Structure 1
Amino acid sequence: MAPAELDVEIFWSPAPGELRERRLSLPAGSTLRDALVASTWFDPGQLATLKAGIWGRMQALDTPLRERDRVEVYRPLTVDPKEARRQRYQAAGRRVVTRHRPLGRKA
């Protein structure tokens, strides 16, 4: 028997370094759009321009939710990731080493 309510969490970072999160109880059969409206963070007119997803994957607003889903609202990138790496390199004056690409000879 399906539950009458869904418990989901919604996360949104409106600005760098700021994170908002809220737990919602929604009726069974609710969609991603319903969760965004229930959060009260967005006007219904804004929803068409939002990028949102579930568990890190972009989804359409009419996607049905499941129990304990993590709804995420994404903001647009302000800097291209490649450009951000160049800026970090210039600021540090040396190559920034990541765990994915260690220094050394290329294979």
Structure 2
Amino acid sequence: MAELAVEVAYAGPEGQAVVELVVPAGTTAWEAVGVALPTLPGGIQPDQGRLGIFGKKVGAEQVLVAGDRVEIYRALTLDPMEARRRRAAR
């Protein structure tokens, strides 16, 4: 079976990391996150609904192709509309 070189990336208050992986063809984005999780900063809780590939949101079942970078997104700490309201109030 063919293998693919992909990356899993995370950046947050816990730290940042880009993990290079070689995975079997047919691996999904969520499976790649699972493989990379032990080497990512401690304390992160990935969510299947918050994944992307090169800045474009994708589903957890997205099948990867060679060279993909799976990005793990964090939940927003502040709603963008609320942030705008606060800036306007200043």
Number of aligned residue pairs = 84
Deviations along 1:14-71, whole A, 9 cap, x unmatched?
A: 327x3221111101111112101110248xxx66655111111221111100000010
TM-score by length of 2: 0.73
- Identity of counterpart residues, as a percentage? 37
Unmatched segments (≥5 aa) in structure 1: 91-107
- Paired AA for residue 5 in structure 2: D
Deviations along 1:55-91, whole A, 9 cap, x unmatched?
A: 112211111000000100110111122433454563x
Determine the C-alpha separation between the residues in 2 that align with 1:88 and 1:23: 39
Report the RMSD for the aligned CA atoms in angstroms: 2.6
- Paired AA for residue 50 in structure 2: K
TM-score by length of 1: 0.63
Q: Partner of 1:96 in structure 2?
A: none
Greater strand fraction, Structure 1 or Structure 2: 2
Aligned match for 1:6, one of 4, 7, 25 = 4
Q: Higher relative contact order by CA 8 Å / sep ≥ 6: 1 or 2?
A: 2
Q: Partner of 1:75 in structure 2?
A: 74
Larger Rg: 1
Q: Partner of 2:33 in structure 1?
A: 36
Unmatched segments (≥5 aa) in structure 2: none
